[in-house]
Amino acid sequence: MKIISSFRELEPFGLIILTGEACGLGYRILFDVTAAGKKVVEKCFGIPNMTFAEAWNRGTAETPHVGSIMLSQEMLVPIAVFACLENGCTEAYRMDDFVIGIELGDPADKAVQMEQLYRVQRVRRFRYAGTAGDRNVHQMTGRIE
């Protein structure tokens, strides 16, 4: 099981939090992204081959930073859902203001256990169940994107 309750917990998924001072509104937070983080953001926004701003830091030789993006706090839940689904979780649940990802091998009642442990209710369940994974095939044209 994966639990994501803050932007800091997205770092293993390739979204590296940098600063809140970059936004002139004081609203968005600046992130560098690795290739894995770029994939998560592209999937979340539904924009294949999305163009990012230049990365602020280099990262490491194994996981270089490939760009940067500013995201508002409200983007935590949608980004966390796709981070879970793109990284081995079969489904993800929004639990108030955090997300849990259910992995293969987790007990079937894991989401219920989390509700009881944190005394929250599952707000919504997410899983790739479209006719084309995260999208549906358009019935008239057969298009996916």
Q: What is the pLDDT of residue 54?
A: 97
pLDDT tens track for 37-62 = 999 999 999 999 999 999 999 999 99
- The answer to the question of residue 143 being in a domain is no
> What pTM was estimated for this model as a whole?
0.89
Q: Are 144 and 99 in contact (CB under 8 A)?
A: no
Number of separate domains in the chain:
1
- The answer to the question of residue 137 being in a domain is no
- The answer to the question of residue 17 being in a domain is yes
- The answer to the question of residue 50 being in a domain is yes
Which residue range is the domain that position 121 belongs to? 2-126
